[in-house]
Structure 1
């Protein structure tokens, strides 16, 4: 971490020392080390341009095709489960659950990318708080930084530690709340989650519903992130309240999406948050999941669907958009048998980060776990099911059976988007067993609380950080 922190520290200091052209910065927003603080933090427009540059990094070409941005982290999680099958191409080692060693690209990328974004958030917070902006602007823009920081610390602790409910004292990535020139020691899962909740609580307090576009964070997005965090922590009332606030609370107007449109348009009314692409700023073939799952254009055509997962969808479910890969493939046990039309690949295709359906299902799960709230859980679940399947029947399940039904609905609704199957298995301490027609089968199974649920600390971090040594990866 020391090398990374030093580079960002130098860049941050340069930000306050170098004078450049303000018009160029405002016209071409970027997280930058070549513009003076008077320009970046001297006006609302300057800070918005700085934030726009940060948000571009959500979908940029950071390292490689399978390590491009946030979408790469989500897609790697998706492929670690039972529902998706990956060919022997990009993400193949994530699919086989072997891409976790200290020198491997997944480990290096996830650590470096998340810390890069955290340090951008720290620079934003520090610059805003030291500026002469109005009190209201300072509160709002600092809150934006808190939301970013909380979000990426959550990605880090999910990827590099055991789950919250298993061991709160498990070693977790270091916590940085300001740009510094020296690496810090590992923290604990408990410490990271306390920092995340603090950041997101301040974000919710300081943000409003207004934003520059759906690629940006507002109060609803911050509430949605907090709902996901509370899911992991088992704070069910907090999860229910935050999820409801994220989607607006009115389920009768919340869902109105045509699955046939291909999951490539951020203007969709069910997308709460996404990464917008444009042809002139495209990340081209780095755009998983679309580039991997789409078999009908010039994309990688590398992702297939487990036949057992296909069987979970009724014939009347509008999400049953599975087709045979080829008439020449007739064996159901061939891993290439089923593909999905869920995603459409274009160079200007957008990526979903958070959708209304996820928030409704978080609220439903939370209500199912809160005594006396099962009827509300039934209503929420059935509303989503009825929007996806005209033949849906309202559930009469209770207790554990109702929770299982909700978790299954999460898989069916969100597959290949945000790694929901992996996320749920990890937070709930469950196994993932490969079934059906997987290309890599039982060798990639995940036991409950399997070490393969988290990555090892990168060797480059160990070599550079005086406060972290090789022992950190013992028994990992």
Structure 2
């Protein structure tokens, strides 16, 4: 029996959504003096962990834009030097998250997991358990992203290359704790991610869809990330089971009930939390200055609703052409013009800075993903079920059902297209192509990137290679 299946029975445990009274004060950096005496110190560590996730070099910008412009969803509409290399898939112009932000977040999680249960740490058990579950979930997310940027998915390796990130499960408290170690295989890291998510589920409890509870780890988000992991891993039976368990737990119906209605879709991206959020990063004014917003926010780079916005990136013409008539997701793009560009350009209405000063929350995992994960997991052995899941999403986006005879490769293509349209500018497109072993399609006259090309994987930072003789660079760099 697969390890996941024993956790399906936990759905009864989560039948009543649990809440926490965890402090949601601004997520500032960790202060070492207060970290280890009581549970509030560990909450400070958790706040540090979340603050890292909102960094512009991670989900605050890079992980949302780069996977879209590395593929065919986005185009540059102004030349500022930013994302030019990614648009052309230049050498070493990839997603760069092998850094102190991500590994620092992993270390925060390791600190919590290693010692929050010590008897010397005062605080109630429920709060300790939640914070520990939070750490398991976030460590899983950090490692999952490192794997998909720097490694091939298991079974999709090119020339047998199977390395992923360095796997560290113990905290580094002082310099003497650090060691130089080799990279683990992606399969080894996936096994750890699976273990972390399964550990998180019974600790974090549930959060109703679109409630403020989604600002933290919760069982629905952990099950969804687990389903996503299995999809990348090629474990389709487990991906379907995890997605189904999450949908049942969250009250999502096979006809799409639980998702936003078509007329509410665009407005949903200007609400906090997003009504379909399973996991959302909350950003507050204290997290950045207005200068940060102008220079680095998603709103500034991809929208033009603020006079000071940079608006350097818009939807590709190919993406716009892919929307069917009546698809409300097309309304997430506003047609406008840009000096120096012939013809219309398209500004985002997903990231509008609705909280002021270019500020907004970032929904990282949304409920619609569960339907499309399950559709992809089913497409070979249960095409009727896959079509049902596609149609559930389409019915909430203003569209009718797909062809009732759609199957095989054509059905998979349809699922990937639905994912492209549903999650445009949410950081999925490049990875959806890569994990299926496909060449990376591009917009305009840019050449597609063959799956066997070395640029499919990100390059490890040169300074890290020079510092650690055990660290092997990715092929081709």
Taking structure 1 as the reference length, the TM-score comes to: 0.81
Confirm or deny that 1:427 pairs with 2:435. yes
Per the alignment, residue 48 of structure 1 pairs with 43
Q: Decide whether aligned partners of structure 1 residues 122 and 324 sit closer, same or farther in structure 2, where only a CA change above 3 A counts.
A: same
Tell me which of 419, 432, 455 is aligned to 1:452.
455
Secondary structure of residue in 1 paired with 2:473: helix
The 10-residue stretch of structure 1 (138-147 or 373-382) with the greater mean CA deviation from structure 2: 138-147
Tell me which of 261, 267, 272 is aligned to 1:266.
272
Deviation per CA, 1:253-279, whole angstroms, max 9, x where unpaired? Answer: 321152332724332221111122233
- How much does 1:289 deviate? 3.2
Deviation per CA, 1:90-144, whole angstroms, max 9, x where unpaired? Answer: 222222222627xx9x53x443322111111101111313244555554443222
Q: Is the 8 A contact 1:26 1:46 kept in 2?
A: no
Tell me which of 194, 198, 208 is aligned to 2:205.
208
Tell me which of 153, 171, 186 is aligned to 1:163.
153
Confirm or deny that 1:385 pairs with 2:377. no
Confirm or deny that 1:88 pairs with 2:91. no
Q: Distance in 2 between matches of 1:191 and 1:458?
A: 22
Deviation per CA, 1:163-193, whole angstroms, max 9, x where unpaired? Answer: 3222375222211001232121122122211
Q: Decide whether aligned partners of structure 1 residues 75 and 277 sit closer, same or farther in structure 2, where only a CA change above 3 A counts.
A: same
**Number of aligned residue pairs:** 427
Q: Is the 8 A contact 2:454 2:475 kept in 1?
A: no
Confirm or deny that 1:374 pairs with 2:374. no
Confirm or deny that 1:250 pairs with 2:247. no
Q: Decide whether aligned partners of structure 1 residues 291 and 259 sit closer, same or farther in structure 2, where only a CA change above 3 A counts.
A: farther
Q: Is the 8 A contact 1:215 1:273 kept in 2?
A: yes
Q: Is the 8 A contact 1:30 1:54 kept in 2?
A: no
Taking structure 2 as the reference length, the TM-score comes to: 0.81
Q: Where in structure 1 are there 5+ consecutive unaligned residues?
A: 1-24, 62-66
Confirm or deny that 1:178 pairs with 2:170. yes
Deviation per CA, 1:59-81, whole angstroms, max 9, x where unpaired? Answer: 235xxxxx254541232111101
Matches within 5 A, 1:319-334: 319-321=329-331, 322-326=333-337, 331-332=342-343
Q: Distance in 1 between matches of 2:61 and 2:219?
A: 22
Secondary structure of residue in 2 paired with 1:253: coil
Q: Distance in 2 between matches of 1:26 and 1:337?
A: 39
Q: Distance in 2 between matches of 1:243 and 1:318?
A: 25
Per the alignment, residue 14 of structure 1 pairs with none
Q: Distance in 1 between matches of 2:463 and 2:162?
A: 21
Per the alignment, residue 92 of structure 2 pairs with 100
Per the alignment, residue 368 of structure 2 pairs with 357
Per the alignment, residue 21 of structure 1 pairs with none
Q: Distance in 2 between matches of 1:310 and 1:241?
A: 34
Aligned-CA RMSD value? 2.8
Matches within 5 A, 1:233-312: 233-247=233-247, 248-251=250-253, 252-256=256-260, 258-261=264-267, 263-282=269-288, 283-285=292-294, 288-297=297-306, 298-312=308-322
Deviation per CA, 1:342-368, whole angstroms, max 9, x where unpaired? Answer: 331343311121111112111111122
Tell me which of 199, 207, 228 is aligned to 2:196.
199
Tell me which of 99, 114, 121 is aligned to 1:126.
114
Per the alignment, residue 6 of structure 2 pairs with none
Per the alignment, residue 475 of structure 1 pairs with 476
Secondary structure of residue in 1 paired with 2:369: helix
- How much does 1:288 deviate? 4.5
Matches within 5 A, 1:130-145: 130-131=118-119, 132=121, 133=123, 136-145=126-135
Q: Is the 8 A contact 2:106 2:142 kept in 1?
A: yes
Q: Distance in 1 between matches of 2:410 and 2:192?
A: 34
Q: Is the 8 A contact 1:72 1:288 kept in 2?
A: no
Per the alignment, residue 32 of structure 2 pairs with 34
Q: Decide whether aligned partners of structure 1 residues 137 and 215 sit closer, same or farther in structure 2, where only a CA change above 3 A counts.
A: closer
Q: Which runs of 4+ in 1 moved over 6 A?
A: 327-330
Q: Is the 8 A contact 2:134 2:216 kept in 1?
A: no
- How much does 1:449 deviate? 3.4
Q: Distance in 2 between matches of 1:264 and 1:91?
A: 25
Q: Distance in 2 between matches of 1:276 and 1:403?
A: 34
Confirm or deny that 1:316 pairs with 2:326. yes
